[in-house]
Amino acid sequence: DAGVIQSPRHEVTEMGQEVTLRCKPISGHNSLFWYRQTMMRGLELLIYFNNNVPIDDSGMPEDRFSAKMPNASFSTLKIQPSEPRDSAVYFCASSPGTPQPQHFGDGTRLSIL
Amino acid sequence: GNSVTQMEGPVTLSEEAFLTINCTYTATGYPSLFWYVQYPGEGLQLLLKATKADDKGSNKGFEATYRKETTSFHLEKGSVQVSDSAVYFCALRDSGAGSYQLTFGKGTKLSVIP
């Protein structure tokens, strides 16, 4: 079975550029989560969707970050404009309706120069 | 605030050895507790969970018991295999309504040698 699929796996871009991260959850999972992982802060929840609706976006650091889930099989996390402090590994995760993630994707390693 | 403290790794064991990875927590109220595992090159996946005191979560031979009196949720396995080599994360979630944020420990790397 396909797991949570994220793209790209790696992204290197210059500050000020727009960055879009993509996620395809496991089929049938109706909860989707975006996490950010850094050495300093560990894993942090950015936003949680249930049935495509954002339930908790209190972890989104600032207005430069936005997330959408237009349908049950696709979500994006966008950073515009990007800054060097946004450099981190971004994980998407999904679960079958439970409010905690069951499976994480392999992550997108983002470097902002 | 909430916090999770795990034993620092790396932990190296021989195959068939007994495993314990310690996890203690600080939280208000009665959190739910989780163990996640991250195999090399993969994302995290939920290994087991417990939602109230004295509950025992179990999966794939791993067990952890929610101990409220000692605020602990130690992970154990009686006989580890090379395929158990991974990073293990302890985590908690507040029990309050609208609590979705998971607080993770820093992870403990386990290496099992033949």
Convert the pLDDT of each residue in B34-43 to its tens digit: 999 999 888 8
pLDDT computed for residue B97 by the predictor = 65
pLDDT computed for residue B100 by the predictor = 80
B87 touches chain A (CB under 8 A): no
| Residue B10 structure tokens | 């790396």
Distance CA B91, CA B5 (A): 9
Is the pLDDT at B62 greater than 80? The verdict is: yes
Per-residue pLDDT tens digits for B79-91: 999 999 999 999 9
| Residue B32 structure tokens | 């739910």
| CB contacts, 8 Å: B102 with chain A | 43, 45, 100-101
| Residue B9 structure tokens | 């790794």
Query: Considering Cα of B35, then B59, then A31, then A25, what sign does the dihedral take?
Result: positive
Query: Considering Cα of B26, then B28, then B30, then B33, what sign does the dihedral take?
Result: negative
- Residues of chain A with pLDDT below 70 are 1
Question: In Å, what is the CA distance from B38 to each residue of A84, A105, B46?
Answer: 27, 11, 9
| Cβ-based neighbour number of residue B68 at 10 Å | 12
pLDDT computed for residue B39 by the predictor = 92
Q: From the CA of A91, how many Å to the nearest CA of chain B? A: 8
Per-residue pLDDT tens digits for B89-110: 999 998 776 678 888 998 999 9
A97 touches chain B (CB under 8 A): no
Say whether B100 and A56 touch across the interface (CB within 8 A). Answer: yes
Per-residue pLDDT tens digits for A81-108: 999 999 999 999 999 978 889 899 999 9
A54 touches chain B (CB under 8 A): no
Tell me which of B5, B6, B37, B46 to substitute to probe the interface with A (most A C-beta atoms closer than 10 Å): B46
Tell me which of B3, B34, B102, B103 to substitute to probe the interface with A (most A C-beta atoms closer than 10 Å): B102
A56 touches chain B (CB under 8 A): yes
Give the DSSP letter string of B73-108: --EEESS--GGG-EEEEEEEE--STT--PEEE---E
A93 touches chain B (CB under 8 A): yes
**Phi, psi (deg, nearest 5) at residue A61:** -65, -40
Of A53, A52, A61, A63, the closest CA to residue A90 belongs to A61
Say whether B102 and A45 touch across the interface (CB within 8 A). Answer: yes
Distance CA B75, CA B6 (A): 10
